[in-house]
Amino acid sequence: MASQILALDFDGVICDSAGECLFTSYSYYAPIAGLAPAPHLDEIPESLRKKFYRIRPFIRDGKDYMLILYFITKGIPIKIQEDFDQRSRDHLDRVCQEVGAADSKELEELFQGKRRDIRARNETTWLGLNPLYPELEEGLLACQDRFDQIYVTTSKPTDAVVEILSHHRIPLPENHIYGYDKVQKDRGKNGHLKTVHELTGAPFEEIHLVDDQVSHLKAARQLGANSYHASWGYTTVQQQEEAEAAGITRLNQETMAGWMAQLLREP
């Protein structure tokens, strides 16, 4: 009998990290843009926080958090995914020049470097910026009877995910967590799934991906993997409709245990 594998995205599925991403990017960008310093997340102006969280569902990777702040401070309107993608292409060079990055790769590293710096200076504060969704541990334990193995596939650094899960006493082994440092970035989320496939020997048809980004789920289905849209994560009505139109199962329970229970009922 083939193994049943559960692959979970991290940000927007397991962890509500939007506050940490805002605080990290703001800490780097604020001095450059002449914004008021904010030693704590709640000291960032409320209007900026609301705009940031509204645009958050459109990002592709860490560098995009810098782009969000640029769009907000320059008054560049972003309403749908196509807006974000086009504006990102149009303004990437300007943002890189403004923050002192040579290219998008270096812009990403500036963001990740600031994240590492914040962690190093006050790990307790940093962990507090990364709360988990409710009843996560209960839900994962409920799934152990259904799934042979559980993996985390994420664009976050592996060690950061390990630290957050350990802090919250979530019993997932470190070698089941695959961040962007373990899988080449240009392979995308399918690169993570292919890694899980290679490690476990499970066919893609026995791998179940839960993610809040519809583009990841569509690509996973092309591999033959099962896709589930985490509608409580960083998503929009447009993206939820897109997932529904593509025939992707929507998970919309309020708690982790609830949507895990739905997975258990899936044939």
- The predicted-structure confidence for 189-213, as pLDDT tens digits, reads as follows 888 899 999 999 999 999 999 999 9
Domain boundary residue, one of 94, 128, 162: 128
Query: pLDDT digits over 122-146, tens only?
Result: 999 999 999 988 777 777 777 776 7
Number of independent structural domains in the chain:
2
256 pLDDT higher than 80: no
pLDDT band at residue 1 using 50, 70 and 90 as cut-offs: very low
Taking the C-alpha atoms of residue 5 and residue 182, their distance in angstroms, rounded to an integer, is 19
Domain boundary residue, one of 128, 146, 176: 128
In this structure, the answer to whether residues 59 and 90 fall within a common structural domain is yes
Q: Whole domain around residue 191: which residue ranges? A: 5-16+131-265
Domain boundary residue, one of 128, 161, 196: 128
255 pLDDT higher than 60: no
Q: Which amino acid is at 259?
A: W
In this structure, the answer to whether residues 69 and 196 fall within a common structural domain is no
Taking the C-alpha atoms of residue 55 and residue 87, their distance in angstroms, rounded to an integer, is 12
Closest CA to 266 of 180, 208, 203: 208
In this structure, the answer to whether residues 193 and 103 fall within a common structural domain is no
Taking the C-alpha atoms of residue 241 and residue 183, their distance in angstroms, rounded to an integer, is 30
SS3 227: strand
pLDDT band at residue 254 using 50, 70 and 90 as cut-offs: low
Taking the C-alpha atoms of residue 119 and residue 139, their distance in angstroms, rounded to an integer, is 28
Say if pTM beats, i.e. exceeds, 0.75.
yes
Sign (positive or negative) of CA dihedral 118, 236, 191, 210? positive
In this structure, the answer to whether residues 94 and 159 fall within a common structural domain is no
